[in-house]
Amino acid sequence: MYVQWSKELETGVPFVDSDHKILINLLNQANDCIHQNEETFILGSVLDALTEYTDFHFRREEKMMAMSGYTALDAHRASHADLSGQVSSIYRDFQANPAAIHAEDVRDFLNSWLIGHIKGDDFAYRDLCVGHAAAHAAHAVSFLGDADTPRLDWSDIRIMLVDDNPNFRKLVQTILKAIGVRHLELVDSCDKAAALLAKRPADVVLCDWVMEGMPGEEFVAYVDRMELPSRVIMLTGYSKAVLRERVRGLKVFDYVEKPVRARELLETIARAALTVRLD
Ligand SMILES: [Fe+2]
What does the pLDDT look like over 41-92, one tens digit per residue? 888 999 999 999 999 999 999 999 999 999 999 999 999 999 999 999 999 9
Cα R_g (the chain), whole angstroms: 20
Helices 39-67, 14-32: inter-axial angle, 10-degree rounding: 160
CATH number of 8-139: 1.20.120.50
Q: What is the per-residue pLDDT across 228-255, written as a single tens digit (0 to 9) for each?
A: 889 999 998 887 787 777 777 788 999 9
Q: What is the mean pLDDT of residues 170-194?
A: 95
Cα(5) to centroid(ligand 1), Å: 17
Contact at 8 Å (CB) between 54 and 27?
no
Direct distance between the N- and C-terminal alpha carbons of the chain, in angstroms, rounded to an integer: 47
pLDDT band at 22 (very low <50, low <70, confident <90, very high): very high
Rounded Cα distance between 136 and 167, Å, is 33
Q: Is the pLDDT of residue 109 over 80?
A: yes
Q: Is the pLDDT of residue 155 over 60?
A: yes
Ligand 1 is an ion; residues with CB less than 5 A from it:
61, 122
Cα(101) to centroid(ligand 1), Å: 25
Could you give the residue range(s) of every CATH 3.40.50.2300 domain in the chain?
154-278
pLDDT > 90: percent of the chain: 64
Cα(76) to centroid(ligand 1), Å: 6
Contact at 8 Å (CB) between 29 and 170?
yes
* Surface-to-core class of residue 6, CB atoms within 10 Å of its CB (0-12 exposed, 13-18 middle, 19+ buried): exposed
Rounded Cα distance between 74 and 71, Å, is 8
pLDDT given for residue 21 in this prediction? 94
Cα(66) to centroid(ligand 1), Å: 12
Q: Is the pLDDT of residue 149 over 70?
A: no
pLDDT given for residue 146 in this prediction? 63
Could you give the residue range(s) of every CATH 1.20.120.50 domain in the chain?
8-139
Cα(186) to centroid(ligand 1), Å: 32
Rounded Cα distance between 137 and 85, Å, is 26
Cα(112) to centroid(ligand 1), Å: 14
Q: What is the overall mean pLDDT for the chain?
A: 90
Cα(95) to centroid(ligand 1), Å: 26
Homologous superfamily in CATH for domain 154-278: Response regulator (3.40.50.2300)
